[in-house]
Structures are given as structure tokens and as C-alpha cells.
Amino acid sequence: MLMLSSTVSIKHEEENYMLFDNSNGNIYKINEVSHKILSLCDGENSNENIILSLTNEFDVAKADVKKDFNDLIKILLNKQYIYDNDN
């Protein structure tokens, strides 16, 4: 299951959503959906669960959510901002 790396944190402040790389200081502006995905990457939610929560919360088609989710996860895994704790 997906989990946020220990060097990364997320923040929602007023209308802003951010991802911090606490090791090199990079700050990324993210959107609300990405923030939600990352907040659910706690090592306990399956990908299916995360997608379900998003579909319920954001009133979008499951197929679209799935695509957004897969795209984002690919980038984040690549950057090692998240990891799969099953591996």
C-alpha cells in the first residue's frame, strides 16, 4: 500500500495545497485532488480505496479519477516521494 516518504510532507493552508520535500527544500504547489490522494497514502489505504474516496468526494467519473491517480502516483513513485510498503 502506498505511503508518503518520511522526507516529504503536505500542507493545506487557506486556498493553497503544497507538497514539501523536507530534504532538499523543494516546495511544490499541488491541487486539492493531489493533496487528498497524498493524505490517503498512509500505508493503510489500498489504491482502490483511495480512488473510491476521491470519486465520492469530488463527484467525478471513476475512470477520470483513476487516470489522474495513476499519473500522479507514477510521478511521485519516480521521485521517491511515496513508496509501496508491500514491496
Partner 1 sequence: MGLYNMDSYNNKKHINNDFYAQWHFIDSCNLRCIHCYQDDYDYKDIDFDILNSIFFELDAAMSKWKMKCFISLSGGEPFLKPEGLFYLIDLIEQSDNFKNIAILTNGTLINNDTIIKLKKHKKISEIQVSLDGHNEETHDKIRGAGTFLKAIESIKRLKNAGIKTSIMFTLHDKNKDSAANMPKLAASLNIDMLTVERMTTMTKTEEQDFFIEASELKTIYSNVYNEAKKEFSNKDTELSTSRPLWNLIDENLGGYCPVGFSSICILHDGTLLPCRRLYLPIGNILTDGLFKVWYNSDILWQMRKKNDKSECFVCSHSERCGGCKAISYYHNNQDLSSKDPQCWI
Chain positions contacting partner 1, by CB under 8 A: 9, 11, 13-14, 16, 18-30, 34, 75
* Shortest reach from residue 73's CB to partner 1, in Å: 13
Q: Following CA atoms 43, 36, 53, 63 in sequence, which dihedral angle do they give, to the nearest 10 degrees?
A: -110
* Shortest reach from residue 35's CB to partner 1, in Å: 11
32 vs 46, beta carbon nearer partner 1: 32
30 vs 51, beta carbon nearer partner 1: 30
Residues 6+ apart with CB under 8 A from 52: none
Q: Following CA atoms 57, 60, 64, 67 in sequence, which dihedral angle do they give, to the nearest 10 degrees?
A: -10
